[in-house]
Amino acid sequence: MFDRFTSAYPLDAGQPSPPADVEPLRQVPGLAELVTLAAGLSFGDGILRVFTEEEARRAQVLANRMWPEWAPRLRPVAQDWMARQYVLDLHRGAALLLLDPGAAGVYELDGTIHELLDTAAIEDPDTFLSQHLFTAWRDLHPEPVPAGACVGFKTPLFLGGPEAVENLEVVDEEVYWSIHGQLWAKVKDLPEGTPISGVEIN
């Protein structure tokens, strides 16, 4: 399982930290296999990281703060290099969602975890992993991103920031989610096209 994905994005160094009991995870196709293979590790030089149980709980707190209307139906599974979370929607039979703090988007995904990684992410890596930005970023910044940090947008897409390397920076993961959550809470109910100025973060 995940042969195409691991061929394109090999596991980075380290030993996985799967849960003591993977049997409950087998209710979701591919989940037990993924965490057994890579919990606590990343693929492809950091392009995607699979959460440990503790990391998943922390990620859920961040997601719930930005989208409280979705709590407690979210169960994070993994995160890409830009802090976008791949999560299970427990109210839809553990279907997959992509949570994007930079775009303030919640996107429903088709298929299983295996289909996401071995098909969708391979056939359309720019959509599912922002491969085009990742390659351009790593050309300029070959050093690894520190633990607990991500590469995020200086000006979020939902405030008109460009999807470009010039708009990216290394930032603490929790700070990134917190700032974007506060910004999104202030602007989400404004009519489309409303000019944004003077937004403050408390």
Is 175 strand, coil or helix?
A: helix
| pLDDT number for residue 202 | 46
In the predicted model, residues of the chain with pLDDT beneath 50 are: 198-202
Q: Determine, yes or no, domain membership for 96.
A: yes
**Tokens encoding 170:** 């290394």
Contact 112, 29 (CB under 8 A): yes
Residue 202, in any domain of the structure? no
Whole-structure pTM value? 0.90
The pLDDT of residue 18: 86
Please check whether residue 15 lies inside any domain of the structure: yes
Domain span at 137: 3-187
Number of domains in the chain: 1
Residue 137: the pLDDT is 97
Tell me: the pLDDT tens digits for 47-64? 999 999 999 999 999 999
| Side-chain half-sphere CA neighbours of 153 within 13 A | 20
